[in-house]
Structure 1
């Protein structure tokens, strides 16, 4: 192979590579590609949530306390069909709350494990609040529909209490039956494991 031929081959390979990258970014598929790679990391089992052992119990801000309902937080939510609910309505259940967005690769990476966990849980005892931070609700809806996830997805319908603010997503909170935050985990994790399932179930008793 001549030097000229090798140079042409190298140019073609670079053009193809750059073209693929451009296509991934312009179509938004780069997020899912990166998320898929991060899912491989989760599959190794090294990213299990350490919530049950190490996360501290957080105190509820007095400005967010709702004494009339005896539930820790007054937090209006809206599902993907526009139905309004309030976090207070989940009183008596353990709540798995996950802050995510369709543009967040780590969120996409951990979501299959959350969905598997959801399908195993008794939803009369454990409620799932997948709280989308997408500015456009339709993006969240299209993503969920495309993936076929069946867990409940919500959007903030008002200001979020300060205790749920996070500098990173995904962030997962575990709330007790009275609504108080029992655990918090920032970053992606594999929630589909026996240890974490048993932790959630222990809180329902």
Structure 2
């Protein structure tokens, strides 16, 4: 019996050591993000979007707040106002957020496939240290630019849930808010964005 107890103690010790190693090296976010990517693959977390939110002016959709000022990874100022007339995909995320990390590869593939003349991406980091987000983006080799807010984030784009994704159509209406991770790299979602031009 003592042998069995000793063996169990050693097994639990090894498991705790592995998880501690992930936590203290910062890899726990990456590992959890990888595991959550499997959940994304099921389609259970796909965003619900309204096929009728394109060109037709619909009074059900609020006018988007374009007052946000941004700073990109090169330190340049960008006014959200400059993006008016484009479809805007806004994703609020952080490097320490496993669901954010999980959805990033799909968002990057979406970014690669979308018409950049008609669509703008605002990958809005809420990391305390923006350099961590810059380093993360470089290490992962993602193609999209990342931003931090230069001032406050308008209440329309403030959420207690990370990640949160917003989509604004070309008429300047907020047509989608999706709290939590989602798979945006689907043909259906790409078609949806095209309908918003």
4+ residue segments displaced more than 6 Å: none
Report how many residues are paired.
Answer: 192
1:54 CA displacement: 9.6
Query: Which protein has the larger Cα radius of gyration, Structure 1 or Structure 2?
Result: 1
Aligned partner of 1:28 in structure 2 is 26
Aligned partner of 1:52 in structure 2 is 50
2:39 equivalent to 1:41: yes
1:177 CA displacement: 2.0
Structure 2 CA distance for aligned equivalents of residues 139 and 183 of structure 1: 28
Structure 1 CA distance for aligned equivalents of residues 195 and 62 of structure 2: 21
Structure 1 CA distance for aligned equivalents of residues 161 and 10 of structure 2: 39
Q: What is the TM-score normalised by the length of structure 1? A: 0.87
Q: 2:135 aligns with which of 135, 138, 142?
A: 142
Structure 2 CA distance for aligned equivalents of residues 173 and 9 of structure 1: 51
Q: 1:190 aligns with which of 173, 183, 187?
A: 183
- Alpha-carbon contact 1:60-1:163 (below 8 Å) kept: no
Q: Determine helix, strand or coil for the equivalent of 1:82.
A: coil
Structure 2 CA distance for aligned equivalents of residues 134 and 175 of structure 1: 23
1:11 CA displacement: 1.9
Structure 2 CA distance for aligned equivalents of residues 134 and 59 of structure 1: 28
2:172 equivalent to 1:174: no
Structure 2 CA distance for aligned equivalents of residues 172 and 196 of structure 1: 13
2:163 equivalent to 1:160: no
- Alpha-carbon contact 1:115-1:151 (below 8 Å) kept: yes
Structure 2 CA distance for aligned equivalents of residues 35 and 74 of structure 1: 32
- Alpha-carbon contact 2:51-2:192 (below 8 Å) kept: no
Please provide the CA RMSD for this pair.
1.8
Mind listing any 5+ residue stretches in structure 2 that lack a counterpart?
none
- Alpha-carbon contact 1:77-1:155 (below 8 Å) kept: yes
